[in-house]
Chain A
Amino acid sequence: MSKASFRIWRGDAGEGRLVDYTVEVNEGEVVLDVLHRLQATQAPDLAVRWNCKAGKCGSCSVEINGRPRLACMTRMNLFGPDDVITVTPIRTFPVIRDLVTDVSYNYTKARQIPSFTPDPRVKPGEMRMRQVDVERSQEFRKCIECFLCNTVCHVIRDHEENTEHFSGPRYLMRVAELEMHPEDTADRRMIAQDDFGLGYCNITKCCTEVCPEHIKITDNALIPLKERVASRRYDPVVWLGSKIGRRPAKDTPKVPNT
């Protein structure tokens, strides 16, 4: 057993301050364990969102020493005995209380994406997918929606005014996943740029760095989507093709009233 020094952001409605705590730590513990001990011994009103304690529910996203992380997957032995561990709420989303934030922005953005649109002529039960096609989007389906990628993305983290026009890496990845689906017939490339803000992404790969599921968000989703958008919108050869009728465009609009 040892002691660790914590500085935890306490407050609500955006106003708050860092409060110092010294708390007991046992071998093998993670930051979430220590936060729970704090609740049990010193700060019973400390608000922390958590659920599975196994890195699979994405609830306990916080910033630990400035880095967006899952509290349940951050082992205490990462820190030296003299380190002061700073825990703050994820900065991109409004604070409800202490370390709990309102992430409803993400669900709004999710609803705006046109869902999977199979060919209407394919009857239920007729659709078949080969393993190679399944594998491609399987990587993206590992996402646990912890929103660490969206919180670290400087497009909205440092520029709150962009939140309306930018869906963040998580939902651009969702668009990419649907665009790579062999049985999907919608074309979301124009709205990826115009409504979901793909052009704001400058591929600095912070989303990939913080992903607890190690999804290669930038290389496998965002850049391929940028290339697809370039084909649809910025490639003069493809543009010419669409004008002479070789590749007529049929853009799918954003889901209305979202």
Chain B
Amino acid sequence: MTQVAQPRPANKRAQISAPTFRTDNWRLSPILTVLGLAGFVGYATFRSFQQDHYWVELYHYLTPFYSPCLSATCEPGSAVFGTLPWAFPWFMPFAAATLPFLLLFRLTCYYYRKAYYRAIWQAPTACAVREPHRSYSGETRFPLLGQNLHRYFFWIAGAIAVLNTYDALVALFHGHNGGFGIGLGNLILLANVVLLWCYTLSCHSCRHAFGGRLRSFSRHPVRYWMWTQISRLNTRHMQFAWITLGSLVLTDLYVALLSSGVITDLRFFN
């Protein structure tokens, strides 16, 4: 039997000029994202370059924005690893060895990428809303190919989290009269460190490194267990990304207010 070729439909999408027919408030999320990110970047930039009010000598509180303090002008006791032999100029943060890597860790983070691609670069602003760009190459070209280095920034961020943990623990052994003591500042430093660990360990690269890259879980039960635990955290990676921005600001602000004498630390023990 001879088959009669059916005429193929013209290969054309529906010509619809409206950028979207969405009726919900799809602009709200990108606006809030921009405000949140801009607020943090503004605060962090100001504080990183302020070069003051970062250390409370009495209780050994060091803000995470200045850890480790490396300038020769760092206040005595604030430099865990000692200082470099010269004073940093005004445009160089005292924690110049760590802040760029923390910035890169967050900049290449899979959650923040979603946030700024949507809210700032508008690719797309919201789902099913036409984006304004004429062409699109995604992460196929330099410099966005660099996003693939996220795994390295994860390991560096992990090392910096160890340092922040040390800072928080050391402060516990500098009570008002020497020795062990707990104040509100200690609790804030500790809570911040716990949240930083949650954010760092919930990272997608961490999930990959500790088990995700395996083809077979059953042959690697320990790594499967680690992958399972990290996956639990990973489902809240976005929440930890935002919470840690807030906890970093809160921790730094508390230390800055204490250091400048505006408030005094609330002590629970010693």
Which A residues contact B (CB, under 8 angstroms)? 9, 11-16, 63, 65-68, 83, 86, 88-89, 91-97, 102, 129-130, 132-133, 136, 152, 154-155, 157-162, 179-182, 184, 197, 199-206, 209-210, 219, 223-224, 226-231, 233-235
Contacts and interface: CB of A to CB of B under 8 A. Distances in A.
A147 B148 CA distance: 28
B151 to A, nearest CB: 7
Given A203-B114, A209-B127, A94 B218 contact: no
The secondary-structure label for the interface of chain A is mixed
A182 B136 contact: no
A220 to B, nearest CB: 9
Chain B interface mostly helix, strand, loop or mixed?
A: loop
A95 B14 CA distance: 6
A13 B12 contact: yes
B234 interface: yes
Contacts of A92: 13
Contact of A132 (B136, B205, B224): B224
A89 B138 CA distance: 26
Interface residues of B, number: 51
Interface in B99-135: 110, 113-114, 117-118, 123-124, 127-131, 133, 135
Interface in B129-153: 129-131, 133, 135-140, 145, 148-151
Interface stretch (B182-190, B209-217, B244-252, B261-269): B209-217
Contact of B145 (A97, A209, A223, A234): A234
B90 interface: no
A155 B138 CA distance: 8
A162 B110 CA distance: 22
B45 interface: no
Contacts of A158: 124, 130-131, 133, 136
Given A67-B127, A155-B138, A199-B140, A94 B10 contact: yes
Contact of A89 (B14, B136, B207): B14
A203 B111 CA distance: 8
Given A154-B123, A203-B117, 6 more contacts: A83-B23, A95-B12, A197-B138, A199-B140, A202-B117, A219-B235
